[in-house]
Amino acid sequence: MAEKSSELKLLSAWFSPMALRAKIALNIKGLEYENVEEDFNSKSHLLLRSNPVHKKVPVLIHGEKSICESSIIVQYIDEVWSNNNAPSILPQHAYDSAIARFWVSYIDEKLFVCAKNIQDAGKSDEEKKPHSEQLEEEMLVRLEEAFNKCSDKKPFFGGNNIGLIDIALGSFLPVLGLIEEINGRMVLVEDKFPGLINWAVNFAANPAVAGTFPEIDKLILFGKTLLKKMGYCL
């Protein structure tokens, strides 16, 4: 049964891949929520009060409770709404959950850090090059292999349904679009990453995901101008 929207509030930013994760998890569970767009020039009292340690989006506010950090929010949503007929986001078996958490940690600690280095306005093209190579020759190669293992010829890392890895990596797709624009060429190409290409198409078309991605043109404009000025990185 859908929660009343007054019960669930997401402090968010339209360009944030981490907020995107929370939105997709809420959609998977069919939960109504109020999306509260934060202004980074003037963070709201609600954000500062509900995430005093990091002062960052996303924050899920569930009644009187605040839950911070994207992967923790996704697991919270999965645990609280485990019996509402929507598919599970975490696998059922402990080993599969450990594998999912492993790749989420890889995506957070390696992939997003690498993307940040590529997008860093302060770095020269020469400085960005090893990071681009690392992304294309190592990280996406590993994730292609992981997809083939985890999906077992089904559409998603999570099998027939979107799971924890799908959400974590799926939130990277708009960032990848931005990197492709910065590099002036495609990165996720079919001959190198046939599994990930199919996965990305299926992911973006899934009802829980469709409509959640930021408009790519708006994101590119934002990525090239405002983020540089503000010192933020996607």
Any residues with CB less than 8 A from the CB of 92 and at least 6 apart, and which? none
Compute the least distance from the CB of residue 151 to its own copies, in Å.
Answer: 18
Question: Do strands 8-12 and 59-62 pair parallel, antiparallel, or not at all (unpaired)?
Answer: antiparallel
Which residue's structure tokens are 């093209």? 125
CA 52-21-199 angle, to 5 degrees, is 160
For residues 69 and 166, which CB has a smaller minimum distance to its own copies in the complex? 69
- Tell me if 233 contacts its own copies by CB under 8 A: no
Q: Is 201 in the site for its own copies (CB under 8 A)?
A: no
Helical spans, DSSP H, in the chain: 17-28, 45-50, 70-80, 94-106, 112-119, 125-133, 140-151, 164-170, 173-183, 194-205, 216-224, 226-230
Q: Is 186 in the site for its own copies (CB under 8 A)?
A: no
188 lies in the binding site for its own copies (CB under 8 A): no
Using the rule CB under 8 A, is 88 a contact of its own copies? Answer: no
Among 27, 59, 61, 106, binds its own copies (CB under 8 A): 106
Instruction: Tell me which residue has tokens 């590529």.
Output: 118
Binding letters toward its own copies, positions 39-78, x by CB under 8 A = --------------x--------x--x-xxx--xx-xx--
Q: Which of 120, 129, 127 is nearest to 231 (CA)?
A: 120
Angle at 33 between CA 31 and CA 34, to 5 degrees: 170
Site for its own copies in 134-153 (CB under 8 A): 142
Identify the residue among 5, 6, 44, 105 touching its own copies (CB under 8 A).
Answer: 105
Of the pair 106, 156, the CB lying nearest its own copies is at 106
Dist. CA 173–CA 178, nearest whole Å: 9
| CB 219, min distance to its own copies, A | 26
CB 156 within 8 A of CB 166: yes
Return the residue of 55, 101, 224, 228 that touches its own copies, per CB under 8 A. 101
Figure out which of the listed residues 2, 48, 98, 221 binds its own copies, where binding follows CB under 8 A: 98
By CB under 8 A, name the one of 79, 133, 190, 215 that touches its own copies. Answer: 79
Name the site residues for its own copies (rule: CB under 8 A): 53, 62, 65, 67-69, 72-73, 75-76, 79-80, 94-95, 97-98, 101-102, 105-106, 142
